[in-house]
Amino acid sequence: MKLRIKKKIIHVAYALLGDFQTASKEKVMYIVELEEGVFIADFEGDPGRTKVIHNAKKYGSRKKAEKALSEARFYRPFLLAEIRSV
């Protein structure tokens, strides 16, 4: 009984802290928005880009998305880039 309550408290704490991937059963995916309405895609380019959000490359962790953004910044600064969860 105590273990169930402890797990529930941890679940709520993660949800309040914004770590929804840990808090829920669904896996959160991430996309990288390089500029307003422009996303990293699995196309050729430096980096490959798309304006269609459904064609944006999805990353299984925030760390992988951060790495992709870091690699994209090798070519251009993308100062307004952000990582979004989907």
Convert the pLDDT of each residue in 31-60 to its tens digit. Answer: 999 999 999 999 988 899 999 999 999 999
- For the chain, the domains span 25-85
Q: What is the pTM of this model?
A: 0.69
Higher local confidence (pLDDT), 46 or 2: 46
Exposure letters 38-66 (e unless 16+ CB within 10 A, then b): ebbbeeeeebebbeeeeebbbbeeeebbe
> Average pLDDT, stretch 17-34?
74
